[in-house]
Structure formats: C-alpha cells, structure tokens
Amino acid sequence: MKQTAFCRAELVAVLLNVRKDTPCVLTLEKGQILPSGPLTMGGRSLQRELRGWVEQQTGMVLGHTEQLYTFADTQVADKSRLVRISYMAMISSNIDQTPAERSLYDYFPWEDRRNPEAHLLLQHIVGLLKEWVGMSADKQQRCARLFGLDPYAWNDELALDRYELLWEAGLVQEARVFQGHISLGLPMQADYRRVLATALSRVRAKIRYTSVVFDLLPETFTLLQLQQAMEALAGCWMHKQNFRRLVLQQKLVEETGAFDTPQQGRPAKLFRFRPQMGQNCYLAGAKLPLTPLS
Amino acid sequence: MKQTAFCRAELVAVLLNVRKDTPCVLTLEKGQILPSGPLTMGGRSLQRELRGWVEQQTGMVLGHTEQLYTFADTQVADKSRLVRISYMAMISSNIDQTPAERSLYDYFPWEDRRNPEAHLLLQHIVGLLKEWVGMSADKQQRCARLFGLDPYAWNDELALDRYELLWEAGLVQEARVFQGHISLGLPMQADYRRVLATALSRVRAKIRYTSVVFDLLPETFTLLQLQQAMEALAGCWMHKQNFRRLVLQQKLVEETGAFDTPQQGRPAKLFRFRPQMGQNCYLAGAKLPLTPLS
DNA sequence: GGTACATATACTCAAAATGAGCATATGTAC
DNA sequence: GTACATATGCTCATTTTGAGTATATGTACC
C-alpha cells in the first residue's frame, strides 16, 4: 500500500552535567559538534545504540536519557534525507572534568540571567531585534513574550524559542542569512546548536516537576549544591530558605547523617534523593522561587 | 569518519479532537491503525510531509502539531530498520464528525476516571498485576505509583507508563507474551497503541500549561465547553467554580458578547481565546482543580 | 403568569502555599 | 576571642487553593 523511501539516520547526544554553578555540555571538535553516530542494522534499541556510540567517542556512561527531537536535513550531495534523532542524557557530576566540556552559556550567553553582563547583552539583542521587527505587530509581540518585555515576565523555559527567533532574525551565525555584526554565542556545525537549545529548554522544564536534577548530582549532596544545580540550569537565582522548605516539606531527600567539609562556613548536612518519589517531584511550580529583585 | 546505514522512515499522526465529553482519535482500518506515510526524498519539512499524507488519507487539516517520539522497529523480513516518527495534531471540534473517530478510552478504558465502571476495571487490573508483581518490591512500588495505590495519588499524566507496565505484564494483546484472559482495551497494529498512549500522556501534560486545548475547541466556546474538554482529556471531573476563577483571573479568554443557545438552563457567555497569551497558559497547576470525592 | 428544572455566575471563608525577611547556629581562619 | 561565612530555624503578610452556599437567568410546561 505504501512505499517507504530509504534515508540515513544519525543519533546525536547532548550530554549534560553541572560543575558547581555552571551547566556543561560535552562536545567534540573544539566545541563545534556533539557526539553522534549512525543508526546501524543491528537490532538494538535506539537508546542502547546511542550509548554505544557515546561510550566509544567519549568514554562516558549515561544516566537518565531522554529523546529530544527528530530533525530532518536534505543532504545537498545526493538529495537524500538525513534523519537526526537527538537525545539528552545526564552525567553525574562526580565524574572528573573532561577537557571537552563547555558551559551551555558559551552557546547561549543571553540565557544566564545570573550574570550581570547578560543583562547588557540582552538589551543589545532587543535593540537588534527592534530592527528586524519593523512594523509587524506579530513579531513585536513574539519578541516581547520571548524576551520578557513589558507585559510579560522572563520565562526560562523558552530558550529554544528564543534561539529560533534569533535564527529567523539572522542574528546567529548558523542562520541562512547572517546579518549580525558580533557573534551571539559560540556557533556549532549543522543543526547542533538547535539541538542544544532544545535540550536546554527541555531540561529547564523538567527540573521543575521531575527528579532529573538528581541525576546530575553526586550520590550525596548538600541542599546548596542542589540549589546551585537548579540555578545553573534555570539561569537565575533562587531564594535559599524557601527553596529548602520546598524540598524538605515534600520529603524529596533524606539525611545521610554525614556532613560536608567546606572551605568556609558551617558544614552542611549531606542528603540523598529518596527514589521512592519516582520521577514525581515538585522542585518548583510554574514559577521558580526566585530571589527578589536581582 | 562515520558511516551511516540506510533505513526506512515512516511518519505517523495521532489526530485528536474532543466531542462534547469524549476525547477522540482519528483512525483507519477499523480502528487498528493510524494515518501514516513514508518519508520521501523531497525537500519538505517533516511536518509538511506529514500534513500531506494526512490530508490525502483523511482530508483533515491539522491545527497545532507536535512531534511525539521516534520509535525504531527491526523488520523481520530483511532485518532492515524502520524508524517511525510520530506526531500528535489537534483538530478543531467544529469539523463534522468523521466515521473513523474513536474514543481514546476505547483503547485505554482504565484511564477514564469519570466513568464508574472504570473503577471496577482498575480494581481488576490491580488484582491481575499483583500476580505479576510477585515478591518484587520494585515492581510493587512501581505499580503503586502508576496506579495511585496507597501512599500515591492517581496521576493522569502517567498514561504512557501505565500502558507500558501493562505491556510488560503481558496484559495487553500487543504484548510479546499476552497472558490476559479478557482484552484490556482495543488493540492496534504494530506500535500504534503505544504511540497513542504517548499522545495521551503528552496532551494531558500540555493542557495544563499551554494553550493546546483551545486548538481543540471551536473559535468561540463557553466556559463549560472548555472545562468539558479538559475533563475529557484528563479523564476526571473538575470543580466548576474554581476552574472558572482560574481561567478568568488569568485573562486567558475574552467575551465575544454573544451567548450560547442551550437546550436547557441559562445561556452561557461565549468566549474566545486571547492569542496574546502565546502558548503560555496555566489551566491547572501540578494538580488539577478536582471535584471533591468523586 | 407561575412552577419546575437546569445551567450560569457571584461571592464567601477557611486552609494551604508562597514570598520575603530576620534571627540564630556552627563551622573555619587568625 | 573575633571576624567571617555559610547553614538552619522561624515569622508573618499575602496569594492561591479547595469547597461550598447563594443567586441569576434562561427553557418547558401547567
């Protein structure tokens, strides 16, 4: 009844982890590409095959792994199709630092609202976008919503949409018509940076109501570490005491009895995640427990 | 550097709409398969190609469309791979009813908690699962969490996980080792029912914090219609007055000035969605505004 | 016109969750 | 002991929920 054309398929992985207060991604080729490999004939599941490629290319063992999105490219050479199935995977941060790790914010500097310089950059971007918007009310409103202008508040989960807007506006180097003067963030080859943006959006959404953050932390951790991981990913500061309350009240974690050995200050209790919670957490509602002002 | 093997790719669509209080899916072949078509050589985007197939096979025009998941099957015949890229799309319910529409709950009867019979079915399922669980504490806990047993509350978003558990337990006909006596829900060919379960989970998650429900409703609608659409999808009753408050306070909708012409009762105001909200809605928090008891 | 009915809409009030902050505890370095 | 730095405990006003009761406004029928 239906004929199925042949195409090529590639598996791509965004390997995330968190180093103190920086969300990192494992890259290859000077930060320009992500680990990936072709889909072979073997009968293994997609995830298993992906793990194989990743281990071979990076030596990493993946934690929680999740499919992100499937993109299709038309190859110029022979007009065949390339299907790119992308995944995001968590790497526990007790792995030694690898040289190929980069901050996610090297690629999306405007997404880190903890950084005062990012505010300036953001103003600059909004200025550039104004030109692109022109008289279009639609575009204007889209910009406002995505970049948290007047009636709207900044929404950290819209990272992908922001990247795509900048692409459309020709402000990132990968864009078909790059119009920028300075480069906004590190570029990558092919679609990889879009895959990365997808991962950022997804992980920001998921840390709120699932237990993925814990896959990024070592087995035991302090509440500050937990908070810093959330802050790193969300790109904003959170209110310490309220964050603790949220976590403790829900009994998401349990004390190990052990303590931290800090450089300065009072040692913090070490906790461990209670896996009985399943994936169901509630580390923040629609809105994160932000610190005031900032 | 890397060799890419060839495979076949198929696009599959779950077309959703809501008829009064029933969430429906458009099927083919007596409810056994979903609209689908091969990925061809042409340079169009995946979504456009999908739309093409769907229009050809069903005549439907799709609203909001969203990629769900990419599955891979190994074909027995030639050991080649088949990659199945699945999508879910909303169809506005002012389309005339098509004969090929089925209730989602024909496939997942245990998911409709508005139906008193579903409670009995659920008890029955839990009984069957007890055997499968045996002595395994892990399985026991997983069942409890997914089916809302003792310490846990029922979570409507876990529809996919529940289906996969039933598959593992051999209680659905598609399972490798079907052990059931009665059939739990209508079976489908290949992976299609799993795709459907993915769509159900996804749409249940998305109606809470995006505006997808509005893509399922006609241009103008009453608040009751809106609520019924939510209830149909979530499979549970919601508290009317509180639901209204939630919607109105956020200014998600605006009055059209027109009124409903009901069979009985006071006519209701007709509303329209305010697209200025973008995708950002908040039609329910982590928990839906449920009616008490029920 | 007046009932019965059925739905829409308004308003209340206690309980729970949140936002913002102050106060205190407990460690290290000097 | 003092200075510092972080952890942890606790308060309190404000908002947001959950669960109702009460009232409004239409139709069908006597």
| A260/C6 CA-to-C1' distance in Å | 65
Establish if B74 touches chain A: CB-CB under 8 angstroms. Answer: yes
**Minimum CA–C1' distance nucleotide for B227:** C8
Q: Is the pLDDT of residue B10 over 60?
A: yes
- Distance between CA A156 and CA A153 in Å, rounded? 10
Beta-carbon contacts of B246 under 8 Å, excluding residues fewer than 6 positions away, are: B282, B283, B284, B289
- Distance between CA B269 and CA B204 in Å, rounded? 26
Give the pLDDT band (50/70/90) at residue B79.
Answer: low
CA A169-A175-A181 angle, to 5 degrees, is: 70
Q: What is the dihedral of CA A214, A215, A221, A227, to 10 degrees?
A: -50
Q: Is the pLDDT of residue B129 over 90?
A: yes
Residue with tokens 């908070």: A227
List chain B residues with CB under 8 Å of A164. Answer: none
Mean pLDDT of B141-167: 92
Instruction: Identify the pLDDT of residue A180.
Output: 66
Count other C-beta atoms under 10 Å from residue A122's C-beta.
Answer: 17
Q: Residue B65 gets which letter from DSSP?
A: E
Give the pLDDT band (50/70/90) at residue B75.
Answer: low
Closest-approach residue (CA) in chain B for A67: B69
Mean pLDDT of B22-30: 95
Mean pLDDT of B4-20: 88
CA distance A2 to chain B (A): 7
Instruction: Identify the pLDDT of residue A1.
Output: 43
Mean pLDDT of B2-8: 65
Q: Parallel, antiparallel, or unpaired: how do β-strands A22-26 and A101-103 relate? A: antiparallel
| Range of weakest confidence among A19-33, A63-77, A189-203, B83-97 | A63-77
Query: Is residue A195 a contact partner of residue A240, using CB atoms and an 8 Å limit?
Result: no
Question: In what helix (H) or strand (E) does residue B55 lie, and over which residues does it extend?
Answer: helix B46-58
- Distance between CA B208 and CA A168 in Å, rounded? 29
pLDDT tens for each residue of B167-216: 999 999 998 777 767 789 999 998 999 999 999 999 999 998 889 999 99
pLDDT tens for each residue of A211-269: 999 999 999 999 999 999 999 999 999 999 999 999 999 899 999 999 998 888 999 99
Mean pLDDT of A20-35: 95
- Distance between CA A112 and CA A156 in Å, rounded? 9
A72 — alpha (psi -120 to 50), left (phi > 0) or beta?
A: beta
- Distance between CA A212 and CA A62 in Å, rounded? 13
Give the pLDDT band (50/70/90) at residue A294.
Answer: very low
Give the pLDDT band (50/70/90) at residue B2.
Answer: very low
Q: Residue B290 gets which letter from DSSP?
A: B
CA proximity to B62, closest of B6, B15, B5: B15
Q: Quick check: A268 CB within 7 A of strand D? A: yes
B1, B2, B7, best to mutate vs chain A, most A CBs in 10 Å: B7
- Distance between CA A162 and CA A142 in Å, rounded? 10
Mean pLDDT of B76-87: 82
Cα-to-chain-centroid distance, residue A204: 7
Give the pLDDT band (50/70/90) at residue A2.
Answer: very low
List chain B residues with CB under 8 Å of A209. Answer: 286
Mean pLDDT of all residues belonging to chain B: 90
A1, A4, A142, A155, best to mutate vs chain B, most B CBs in 10 Å: A4
Instruction: Identify the pLDDT of residue A182.
Output: 79
Cα separation values, A207 from A210, A267, A287, B117, B155, Å = 6, 26, 12, 36, 18
Instruction: Identify the pLDDT of residue A276.
Output: 80
CA proximity to B129, closest of B73, B83, B170: B170
CA proximity to B170, closest of B160, B155, B156, B180: B180
Q: Parallel, antiparallel, or unpaired: how do β-strands A220-221 and A269-273 relate? A: antiparallel
pLDDT tens for each residue of A37-96: 998 866 678 999 999 999 999 998 898 999 999 998 876 666 678 899 999 999 998 888
Whole-angstrom distance between the N-terminal and C-terminal Cα of chain B? 61
Mean pLDDT of B28-51: 88
Select from B3, B39, B46 the Cβ nearest to the Cβ of A38: B3
Query: Is residue B80 a contact partner of residue B98, using CB atoms and an 8 Å limit?
Result: no
CA distance B127 to chain A (A): 22
- Distance between CA A183 and CA A26 in Å, rounded? 21
Residue B122: burial class (beta carbons within 10 Å; 0-12, 13-18, 19+):
middle
Q: Which domains does chain B have, with CATH numbers?
A: 8-104 (3.90.79.10), 109-184 (no CATH), 210-277 (1.10.10.10)
Instruction: Identify the pLDDT of residue B153.
Output: 87
Contact B81 A280 (CB under 8 A): no
pLDDT tens for each residue of A157-205: 999 999 999 999 999 999 887 776 778 999 999 899 999 999 999 999 9
- Distance between CA A235 and CA A118 in Å, rounded? 10
Q: Which range, A97-101, A177-181, A272-276, is most confident?
A: A272-276
Task: Please give residues of chain B from 216 to 255 whose alpha-adjacent beta carbon (CB) lies under 7 Å from any atom of strand D.
Answer: 239, 241-242, 245-246
Q: Parallel, antiparallel, or unpaired: how do β-strands B81-90 and B6-19 relate? A: parallel
User: Maximum distance among all alpha carbons in chain B?
Assistant: 71
Establish if A57 touches chain B: CB-CB under 8 angstroms. Answer: no
Instruction: Identify the pLDDT of residue A153.
Output: 86
Residue B2: burial class (beta carbons within 10 Å; 0-12, 13-18, 19+):
exposed
Q: Residue A115 gets which letter from DSSP?
A: S
Q: Which two tokens stand for residue B284?
A: 């329910």
Establish if A178 touches chain B: CB-CB under 8 angstroms. Answer: no
